[in-house]
Structure 1
Amino acid sequence: MDPIIITKLIILKKRFDVLKKLINTPKILYNKKKFLLLHKEHTQLFEIVTCFQNWLNTKQEINNIKNMLTEKDMYDLVQDELKIFNAKKINLENQLTMLLLPEDKNDKLGCFIELRAGTGGKEAAIFTAELFRMYTRYAELRHWNIEIIHIADSEYEGYKEIIIKIPNKGAYSQLKFESGGHRVQRIPHTESQGRIHTSTCTIAVIPEIPYTDFPKINSNDLRIDSFRASGAGGQHVNTTDSAIRIIHIPSGLTVECQDERSQHKNKAKALSILNSRLHALETKRRQKEESNTRRNLLGTGDRSDRIRTYNFQQGRVTDHRISFTSHKLHNIMHGDLDILIKPIINKYKFDQLNKLLQSK
């Protein structure tokens, strides 16, 4: 294990031992606020320190076993023991690495996925619909639920815009790197001369923040309009003003929802999306203030970033952020999205680990 990581772990272990003594002193026990603060830190360090102690014990065991290699009649048995403990040591090192990586508090949340047709007219709208089906299939394979929040049909085929919600815990952690520009290259059915066209779809994945974390919104900053829903939904949906449009005047953000028959339910869903968007904007603003070098290996997550190209003629998908290419386009479009998701998550973790090693 890297000496820098070992040094960090020793520091954390010392801090843990200090906390253990502090939370049992009368001075801290009678100070509820201070006690809860220190107890929380103690709990957060417990798993790391326990794992590190197991690693230290295993390392000592390996040293003890190596001292027995001089005994010829025990050599084979000792070698077998060494293999077992070395495997245990490597496993503990991997656990420690993961435990030390910074945790995104949003990783445990569900998410909204917003898909919007970009350049390319009809082809862009069709591609947007295909990506929607890809994410739907991916969710089905993981036994996740999907709620359609808003659909804006294209005048031809496909969608101008579609917003879906995946409320399952951990959905955001798997899909957060999907944000950005998705580009498709292929020959449209209407193309008589066999020319390859390029179209785009922009995607934003936003964590579904809990109600308790909603930012405070002044009701005077909202303009709420009702209108008649369009598209599929039955006679009632299309003949009553049940659809809701909410405009947040200070930011200019606009949210529409027409999925439910009830105006009240549509308003609740629209407010949920609006709050999540505002929360995402605030998070981005804070990150920008903290670091002017936010555009790292994985991009900013802005919708304008071109993150991926789907080339149907060659049956390949390329993620430009990590220079990763897969020739399993058919599988990916049918929901096997882990082909693309796992490499970028692994690369992100590797990048985070490098930052950890470089920090002093």
Structure 2
Amino acid sequence: MLLSIPRITWKAIRRYSTKTSLLQSTRISPTLEKKLERISEQHDSLLYQLSNNQLNPTDLATASKKLSDLTTTKSLFDDWRKCTQDLSDLQDLLAVQDQEDDMLELAKEEYEDIMSRIGVIEKDLIYELAPKDAADDASAILEIRSGAGGDEASLFSSDMARMYERFAQLKKWKWELLSKSEDVGGKGLKDITVNISGRNVFGLLKYESGVHRVQRVPATESQGRIHTSTITVAMLPQPTEVDVQIRDSDLKIDLYRASGAGGQHVNTTDSAVRMTHIPTGLVVSMQDERSQHKNKAKALKVLRAKIFELEREKTQSARRDSRNKQIGTGDRSEKIRTYNFPQNRVTDHRINLTVYELEHILSGDGLENIIEPLQEYYLSQSLLDE
């Protein structure tokens, strides 16, 4: 949650009422509050001008759209101010020293209710104010690759793929396998590439990119020693053909015979495709399909996503560099998260978040308990860049 609600006794409430403000854990800083006040004043001014026909006909459409854009923020800010005023009134009530215990108990309940409402409002305000990433609504291409740790890394790659697939099912997104490479035993994955289609896929999963570390005792470990393995996750927004246009002259396409499991036909025909984008040097290989044309189509989809992400990173570099002074980039070169099985612990190192529900998270059902705090923190930080 954006705002944690302190558990308090009636003595604690009385102490708050005499020594400090009840609203001490708000995320609305004085600077942000001033910005919200300016937005509120701008909203009221536009509303007055529109209501009293003070605008030229040529300005009406622009003003109406601007008013519509500001309305939700204005409403949320009004609710926030009302809640903070309610807290102030509660503080005045508690300042009276001869309150009965039952009155203080009611005050405690009201305090917790108001703080809970403030937490929800603040979360919504940050979502409204944060700079919008045009790629957030897009579908995404997920790549998982095993890193250090041999078989254990491959097994963990498989675990992570199941986690994301289950999360996609819960969100009613479409999961389309593009390619995968299994390890020798067939239990783990060396790498897997998936297209996840749906609304706001990239917006929810973009902070999953990076190095994920697992600490656990392998089934083959007779001494009970904990092994550490890593995998890399890349989440790429899926652009349309309009977003990224690739000329045939910019492509070098090599055909070759597929290797590994896949049946006699796959391994005896030149159906595998290696596609190189000459201007950027990006390379994508695809061999899972029997059809050369299908492998080309899949390779082009992944290549288009990689080019789009490359251009997107360039345009956002200034904002990202500012934000990275406080948090990581989230790219695949950084260790972003640790999954510790003996302690049932998952730690996200970018925001120092630790939760003790590893199985719940790896099942996909609890992944949002990690994603939401990450998303809220990154959005909060983005407000500092403006």
Please give the secondary structure, in 2, of the residue aligned with 1:285. Answer: helix
Tell me whether 106-115 or 257-266 shows the greater mean CA deviation.
257-266
2:69 to 44, 50, 69: 44
What is the letter of the counterpart of residue 235 of structure 2? V
Check conservation: 2:323, 2:385, Cα contact below 8 A: no
User: What displacement does 1:185 show?
Assistant: 2.1
Structure-2 residue corresponding to 1:175: 205
Q: Give the Cα–Cα distance (whole angstroms) in 2 for the partners of residues 105 and 316 of structure 1.
A: 34
Q: Give the Cα–Cα distance (whole angstroms) in 2 for the partners of residues 118 and 303 of structure 1.
A: 11
Structure-2 residue corresponding to 1:66: none
Structure-1 residue corresponding to 2:217: 187
Structure-2 residue corresponding to 1:284: 313
- Render the CA deviation track for 1:84-125: whole Å, top value 9, x for unaligned: x96998465654343223333222222111011111222222
Runs of at least 5 residues in structure 1 that lack an aligned partner in the other structure:
30-34, 64-75
What is the letter of the counterpart of residue 35 of structure 2? K
Q: Give the Cα–Cα distance (whole angstroms) in 1 for the partners of residues 123 and 336 of structure 2.
A: 29
Q: Give the Cα–Cα distance (whole angstroms) in 1 for the partners of residues 84 and 220 of structure 2.
A: 66
Distance 1:53 1:331, change over 3 A: closer
Aligned pairs (5 A) from 1:189-338? 189-212=219-242, 214-231=243-260, 236-290=265-319, 292-338=321-367
Distance 1:288 1:325, change over 3 A: same
Check conservation: 2:179, 2:194, Cα contact below 8 A: yes
Distance 1:58 1:140, change over 3 A: closer
Please give the secondary structure, in 2, of the residue aligned with 1:146. Answer: strand
Structure-1 residue corresponding to 2:14: none
Please give the secondary structure, in 2, of the residue aligned with 1:108. Answer: coil
Structure-1 residue corresponding to 2:56: 25
Q: Give the Cα–Cα distance (whole angstroms) in 2 for the partners of residues 199 and 60 of structure 1.
A: 51
Structure-1 residue corresponding to 2:5: none
Distance 1:289 1:328, change over 3 A: closer
Distance 1:261 1:350, change over 3 A: same
Aligned pairs (5 A) from 1:46-195? 46-52=71-77, 90=118, 95-157=124-186, 158-195=188-225
- Render the CA deviation track for 1:56-97: whole Å, top value 9, x for unaligned: 79999999xxxxxxxxxxxx9xx99xx7x9699846565434
Check conservation: 1:59, 1:89, Cα contact below 8 A: no
The TM-score with structure 2 as length reference comes to 0.72
Q: Give the Cα–Cα distance (whole angstroms) in 2 for the partners of residues 96 and 119 of structure 1.
A: 41
User: What displacement does 1:166 show?
Assistant: 0.8
Distance 1:163 1:296, change over 3 A: farther
Check conservation: 1:113, 1:205, Cα contact below 8 A: yes
Residue correspondences, number: 338
User: What displacement does 1:236 show?
Assistant: 4.9
1:7 to 27, 30, 34: 34
Distance 1:330 1:353, change over 3 A: closer
Q: Give the Cα–Cα distance (whole angstroms) in 2 for the partners of residues 298 and 59 of structure 1.
A: 30
Check conservation: 2:137, 2:201, Cα contact below 8 A: yes
Structure-1 residue corresponding to 2:100: none
Please give the secondary structure, in 2, of the residue aligned with 1:241. Answer: coil
Please give the secondary structure, in 2, of the residue aligned with 1:123. Answer: helix
Check conservation: 1:150, 1:256, Cα contact below 8 A: no
Structure-1 residue corresponding to 2:9: none
Distance 1:351 1:268, change over 3 A: closer
User: What displacement does 1:238 show?
Assistant: 4.5
What is the letter of the counterpart of residue 49 of structure 1? K
Q: Give the Cα–Cα distance (whole angstroms) in 2 for the partners of residues 39 and 116 of structure 1.
A: 49
- Render the CA deviation track for 1:217-276: whole Å, top value 9, x for unaligned: 343221112334445555554444333221112322111233444433332222221121
Check conservation: 2:320, 2:329, Cα contact below 8 A: no
Tell me whether 297-306 or 187-196 shows the greater mean CA deviation.
187-196
Q: Give the Cα–Cα distance (whole angstroms) in 2 for the partners of residues 42 and 167 of structure 1.
A: 33
Check conservation: 1:182, 1:306, Cα contact below 8 A: yes
Distance 1:321 1:5, change over 3 A: closer
Check conservation: 1:229, 1:240, Cα contact below 8 A: yes
User: What displacement does 1:351 show?
Assistant: 5.4
Structure-1 residue corresponding to 2:372: 345
Runs of at least 5 residues in structure 2 that lack an aligned partner in the other structure:
1-27, 89-102
What is the letter of the counterpart of residue 166 of structure 1? I
- Render the CA deviation track for 1:143-196: whole Å, top value 9, x for unaligned: 322111111233344222111111011222222121111112233334444433
Q: Give the Cα–Cα distance (whole angstroms) in 2 for the partners of residues 107 and 227 of structure 1.
A: 36
